């Protein structure tokens, strides 16, 4: 604490940072909780003959947030895997990722570093159809790449290690970067995959569409069933809630520490003012009774008892025996602050 009981700059920064972190974690927690509540309250509909009737009765022929489960079926030509034969899908993502080691000058360790150097995603229109395969109602999935969770299956993955000469190795150690290789990955949303879609369900002329919701809620196209998807979101809510509570306790601890310091400083100032008032009252009492003669012979510490000690080697006579015993060690003369090596009692006749 600085003079006047105010927190120091470092303590103020610590409290501000702790408060900001707690506020940020609480904001994330509230957002996650809102998503979980919205997902729990989403309307569950089935891919059957009643779906069109449900949409016709809904305001604006729209269910703002609906859950629907079905199987992926391509509308036009399917996408073929570049590496796996007879692998067909409706979403294809090709990724080239660079792997290398980077020297950390602070920790003096080599750390793994990954960087996507190229990625291409191909899509083709697709529907969700009933799992039984009956020719019933279909739902057209719109803008699948905007989904917060799009379940793609990795169908091909290969790592191409980098070939290095001795000169390259020396150069890498000097530059602080050591390439490991290139990883090639292909991911697909395959035809026939069971998918859980959560989003806005609308009837557009004769086509039923599943698209990103307009209320800011997330859009899901997940291979998990709805119960598993909901449990995943609730686990995320609990995780962020625990982080928020821990950070809140840390902030309260910092605040309590600062308030306790300020309270102790306030008590010390009160005690000092009380001592000063008692000293002033003692002076007034001595001056009003026997005048300056008594004040002259009074102990300079308590101002009530008579001087009865001679301090050596300085020779000052300024304290009574009780106040001498109360002096902190190493004992020093209250007048000149010289160390006291010996005390001679003074007797007044």
Encode pLDDT of 256-267 as tens digits.
Answer: 988 888 888 888
Indicate whether 93 belongs to any domain.
yes
In this prediction, residue 275 carries a pLDDT of: 80
Indicate whether 307 belongs to any domain.
yes
Indicate whether 264 belongs to any domain.
no
Mean pLDDT computed over 300-319: 82
Other CB atoms within a 10 A radius of the CB of residue 266 amount to: 11
Q: Which domain holds residue 319?
A: 297-345
In this prediction, residue 283 carries a pLDDT of: 66
* Bridge partner list, 87: none
User: Residues 179-238: pLDDT tens digits?
Assistant: 889 999 999 999 999 999 999 999 988 889 999 998 788 999 999 999 999 999 999 999
Indicate whether 192 belongs to any domain.
yes
Contact 121, 91 (CB under 8 A): yes
Long-range contacts of range 144-150, CB-CB < 8 Å, 24 or more positions apart?
A: 144/90, 144/91, 144/189, 144/221, 145/91, 145/121, 146/212, 146/219, 147/212, 147/219, 147/220, 147/221, 148/218, 148/219, 148/220, 149/218, 149/220, 149/221, 149/222, 149/229, 150/91, 150/189, 150/221, 150/222
Indicate whether 284 belongs to any domain.
no
3-state secondary structure of 27: helix
In this prediction, residue 286 carries a pLDDT of: 61
Domain boundary among the residues 167, 200, 224 is at 224
Is the pLDDT reported for residue 122 higher than 90? yes
In this prediction, residue 232 carries a pLDDT of: 92
Nearest one of 126, 123, 124, 131 to 71, comparing CA atoms: 131
Indicate whether 165 belongs to any domain.
yes
Of residues 184 and 306, the one with the higher pLDDT is: 184
The total number of structural domains that make up the chain: 2
In this prediction, residue 165 carries a pLDDT of: 83
In this prediction, residue 323 carries a pLDDT of: 86
Domain boundary among the residues 208, 224, 240 is at 224
Of residues 88 and 287, the one with the higher pLDDT is: 88
- Find the range with the poorest average confidence among 30-44, 83-97, 192-206, 330-344: 330-344
Contact 72, 121 (CB under 8 A): no
Is the pLDDT reported for residue 287 higher than 70? no
Report the Cα–Cα distance between both ends of the chain, in Å, rounded.
52
In this prediction, residue 48 carries a pLDDT of: 84
In this prediction, residue 134 carries a pLDDT of: 59
How far is the C-alpha of 50 from the C-alpha of 71, rounded, in Å? 18
> Among positive and negative, which fits the CA dihedral 284, 287, 289, 294?
positive
Is the pLDDT reported for residue 133 higher than 70? no
Beta strand pairing call for 317-319 and 309-312: antiparallel
Mean pLDDT of all residues belonging to the chain: 86
Is the pLDDT reported for residue 138 higher than 60? yes
Domain boundary among the residues 195, 224, 253 is at 224
In this prediction, residue 322 carries a pLDDT of: 85
173 and 74 within one domain: yes
In this prediction, residue 285 carries a pLDDT of: 67
In this prediction, residue 344 carries a pLDDT of: 84
How far is the C-alpha of 67 from the C-alpha of 255, rounded, in Å? 46
CA distances from 78 to 18, 73, 188, 204, 210 (A): 53, 9, 11, 24, 20
Tokens describing residue 241: 């809630």
In this prediction, residue 166 carries a pLDDT of: 81
How far is the C-alpha of 276 from the C-alpha of 270, rounded, in Å? 10
Nearest one of 36, 45, 40, 37 to 67, comparing CA atoms: 45
- Which CATH number belongs to the domain containing residue 334 in this structure? 3.30.40.10
Mean pLDDT computed over 156-176: 85
């Amino acid at each position: 604490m600085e003079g006047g009981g105010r927190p120091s700059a470092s303590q103020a920064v610590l409290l501000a940072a702790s408060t900001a972190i707690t506020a940020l974690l609480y904001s994330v927690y509230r957002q996650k909780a809102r998503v979980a509540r919205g997902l729990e309250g989403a309307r569950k509909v089935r891919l059957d003959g009643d779906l069109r009737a449900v949409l016709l009765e809904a305001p604006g022929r729209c269910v703002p947030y609906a859950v629907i489960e079905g199987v992926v079926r391509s509308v036009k030509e399917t996408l073929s895997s570049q590496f796996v034969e007879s692998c067909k899908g409706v979403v294809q993502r090709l990724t080239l990722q660079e792997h290398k080691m980077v020297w950390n000058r602070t920790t003096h360790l080599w750390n793994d570093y990954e960087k996507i150097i190229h990625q291409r995603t191909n899509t083709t229109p697709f529907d969700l159809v009933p799992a039984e395969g009956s020719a019933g109602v279909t739902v057209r999935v719109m803008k699948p790449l905007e989904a917060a969770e799009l379940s793609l299956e990795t169908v091909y993955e290969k790592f191409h290690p980098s070939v290095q000469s001795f000169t390259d190795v020396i150069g890498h150690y000097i530059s602080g970067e050591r390439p490991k290789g290139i990883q090639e990955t292909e991911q697909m949303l395959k035809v026939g995959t069971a998918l859980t879609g959560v989003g806005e369900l609308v009837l557009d002329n004769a086509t039923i569409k599943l698209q990103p919701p307009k209320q800011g809620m997330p859009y899901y196209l997940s291979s998990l069933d709805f119960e598993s998807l909901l449990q995943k979101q609730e686990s995320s809510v609990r995780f962020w809630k625990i982080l928020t509570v821990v950070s809140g306790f840390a902030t309260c601890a910092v605040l309590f520490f600062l308030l306790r310091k300020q309270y102790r400083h306030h008590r010390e100032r009160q005690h000092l003012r009380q001592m000063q008032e008692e000293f002033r009252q003692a002076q007034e009492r001595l001056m009003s009774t026997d005048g300056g003669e008594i004040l002259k012979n009074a102990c300079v510490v308590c101002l009530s008892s008579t001087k009865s000690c001679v301090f050596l080697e300085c020779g000052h006579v300024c304290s009574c025996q009780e106040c001498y015993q109360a002096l902190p060690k190493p004992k020093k003369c209250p007048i000149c602050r010289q160390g006291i090596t010996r005390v001679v009692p003074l007797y007044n006749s």
